[in-house]
Structure formats: structure tokens, C-alpha cells
């Protein structure tokens, strides 16, 4: 993307979203950071080298996508890139997964990206150019114990990506997903703490166990995921893909 674009990054205050935002900003793009935590947004915005707009928003609210994209359009114009990186996991046995937990996971990991994609697409189609990348997970491609709700949501969002890509093919708008394994982010820190609490193991042991789940023997770095996002933004021939970034664990 040699031209400077208006890039919306949800979940942009930390983790993968912050790494994507930093990468895009360094490449000369205008970056919109959207997340719930205003203070975290401000901290991330301060270290970006280029123009940045912060939008504190709860993406699980029904009108959040309209609020977010309306703010962007009012300040800079229509969004040209959407990176939907907001998400969170939760762990529970299948029989211990409450309706509330189930709905929470679908709301954040599936419904919120859907609403953002739906809101972003019309102006991208009108312009004849757009890029959408959803940060999914290896859980979009394979199942694991104790994460039924999270896995169902991530499988669903990969289905959304594939269907949207097929529908928009030839319009100049591409839709893809990245599917990371365990990444060295605050979300993984929370997973480590949950494992330690459930099993009685120390957090160092729990973190080492997660690192071993990647064949390369370590956690994935957020910057490595951001580099794949950038590839998907630059290459129109990549469409409808779910690119796994996990050191070779899920080969697809």
C-alpha cells in the first residue's frame, strides 16, 4: 500500500492490535485505534509515529460500529482498511459453560466483527478498494478442551470471512483472517493465570507449556502477526484466506 490509507484497528490499545497499529503507522498510514479502555488507547496513541485517532467504544454494543465508523468519517473520511483485532478468550468445561459466557464470547469474537465488516463494506465498495482482516485464532481451525464458546465464535468468524470474500470478490475489496497460535500478549497472560489457578502449577510452568504448543518452542510475537496482516493488505490475490501463524502446529 504505497498510498496512505485510513486504517481502523479494533482492539488497538494492546496486544496484536497495538502491534498492527504500530506497523501501519510506521508505514505512513493514518490509524484509528478503537477499544474500551481510554487510558490504554492514549498510551498506545502516544508511541505511534503518524496521525492517530482514538475512539473509546464497547464493540459489543449494538450501535458501536455505527459510532466508530461515524467518528472516522467525520474526522478523516471513509475507512479504507479494517483490522478487527478486538477479542478475548474464556475457559470453562463444556458442561460449565453458562449461557452468559456463551453469549459474551459470541458477542465479542463474532458479532462485533460482523457489525464492523457490515458497516465498513459499503464505502469500500463505492471506492472500488478496501482491505478487511479479522484476527481469528488457530481455534478457528481446530478444537481444544475447555474453550467451546471461544472456539465456536472463532470458527464462526472464519466462516464470515470466507463468505464475505466470496461475495465481494472482484469489487476491489478483500477479506481475510489471520489465525495465530499463542501470542505473547496480555490475553495470553490471562490464559497463563487461569491455567495456573486451575491446575496449581506455577505461572512460569504454565507459560512454558503454552510455548511448547508451538512447534518452534516459543510464543508467537505480536509483530509476527502484524507482518502477516500487512501482507494481506498489500496483495489483492490473497482473498478469503485464514492464514495460520503458529510456528507450524496447524498445517493448512
pLDDT at position 74 over 90: yes
Which of 18, 131, 150, 192 is catalytic? The answer is 150
Q: pTM for the full model?
A: 0.94
Neighbours of 45 (CB within 10 A): 18
DSSP code for 111: I
Question: Are residues 227 and 198 both part of a single domain?
Answer: no
Q: Where is 119: in which H helix or E strand? A: helix 112-127
Query: Would residue 182 show up in a list of annotated catalytic residues for this protein?
Result: no
Split into its structural domains, the chain has a count of 2
What average pLDDT does the structure give for the chain? 95
Question: Looking at the domain assignment, is residue 1 inside a domain?
Answer: no
Same domain for 114 and 84, yes or no, is yes
- pLDDT > 80? residue 26: yes
Max Cα distance, the chain (Å): 55
- Rounded Cα–Cα distance for residues 142 and 246 (Å): 12
Distance of CA 218 to the CA centre of its chain: 21
Residue 17 clears pLDDT 80, i.e. is over it? yes
pLDDT band at 2 (very low <50, low <70, confident <90, very high): confident
Whichever domain contains 158, its CATH number is: 3.40.50.720
For residue 80, being part of any structural domain is answered with: yes
pLDDT of 47 > 90? The answer is: yes
Cα–Cα distances in angstroms (integers) from residue 250 to residues 37, 133, 213, 247, in the given order = 33, 20, 10, 8
Same domain, 80 and 172: yes
Strand order in the sheet with 52-56: 52-56, 30-35, 6-10, 81-84, 130-135, 173-180, 242-245
Q: Are 132 and 42 part of one and the same domain?
A: yes
Determine the pLDDT at residue 199: 80
Query: What confidence category does residue 135 fall into, taking pLDDT thresholds of 50, 70 and 90?
Result: very high
Quote the CA–CA distance of 185 and 222 in Å, as a whole number: 7
Cα gap 37→43, rounded to integer Å: 10
The grid cell for 95 is 458442561
Q: Is residue 251 part of a domain?
A: no
The answer to the question of residue 252 being in a domain is no
Q: What is the pLDDT of residues 206-251, one digit of tens each?
A: 888 888 988 999 999 999 999 999 999 999 999 999 999 999 999 8
Say whether pLDDT at 197 is over 90: no
pLDDT above 80 for 48: yes
Q: What is the pLDDT of residue 213?
A: 85
- Compute the distance between CA of residue 232 and CA of residue 226 in angstroms, rounded to an integer: 10
Confidence of residue 43 (pLDDT cuts 50, 70, 90): very high
Q: Which residue would you say has higher pLDDT here, 75 or 193?
A: 75
Burial zone of 213 (CB within 10 Å; 0-12 exposed, 13-18 middle, 19+ buried): middle
Q: What is the model's pLDDT at position 209?
A: 83
Residues 89 and 202 in one domain: no
Domain that holds residue 213: 184-219
Amino acid at each position: 500500500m504505497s498510498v496512505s490509507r485510513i486504517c481502523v484497528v479494533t482492539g488497538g490499545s494492546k496486544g496484536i492490535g497495538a502491534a498492527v497499529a504500530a506497523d501501519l503507522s510506521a508505514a505512513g498510514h493514518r490509524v484509528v485505534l478503537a477499544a474500551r479502555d481510554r487510558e490504554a488507547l492514549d498510551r498506545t496513541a502516544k508511541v505511534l509515529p503518524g496521525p492517530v485517532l482514538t475512539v473509546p467504544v464497547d464493540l459489543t454494543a449494538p450501535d458501536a460500529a455505527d459510532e466508530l465508523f461515524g467518528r472516522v468519517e467525520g474526522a478523516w473520511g471513509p475507512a479504507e482498511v479494517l483490522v478487527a483485532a478486538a477479542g478475548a478468550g474464556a475457559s470453562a468445561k463444556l458442561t460449565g459453560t453458562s449461557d452468559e459466557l456463551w453469549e459474551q464470547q459470541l458477542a465479542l469474537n463474532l458479532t462485533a466483527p460482523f457489525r464492523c465488516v457490515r458497516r465498513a463494506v459499503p464505502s469500500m465498495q463505492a471506492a472500488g478498494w478496501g482491505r478487511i482482516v479479522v484476527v481469528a485464532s488457530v481455534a478457528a481451525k481446530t478444537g481444544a478442551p475447555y474453550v467451546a464458546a471461544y472456539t465456536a465464535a472463532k470458527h464462526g468468524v472464519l466462516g464470515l470471512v470466507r463468505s464475505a470474500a466470496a461475495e465481494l470478490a472482484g469489487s476491489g475489496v478483500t477479506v481475510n483472517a489471520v489465525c495465530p497460535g499463542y501470542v505473547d500478549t496480555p490475553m495470553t497472560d490471562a490464559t497463563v493465570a487461569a491455567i495456573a489457578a486451575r491446575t496449581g502449577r506455577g505461572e512460569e510452568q504454565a507459560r512454558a507449556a503454552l510455548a511448547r504448543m508451538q512447534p518452534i518452542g516459543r510464543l508467537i510475537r505480536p509483530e509476527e502477526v502484524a507482518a502477516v496482516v500487512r501482507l494481506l493488505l498489500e496483495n489483492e490475490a490473497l482473498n478469503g484466506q485464514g492464514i495460520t501463524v503458529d510456528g507450524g502446529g496447524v498445517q493448512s
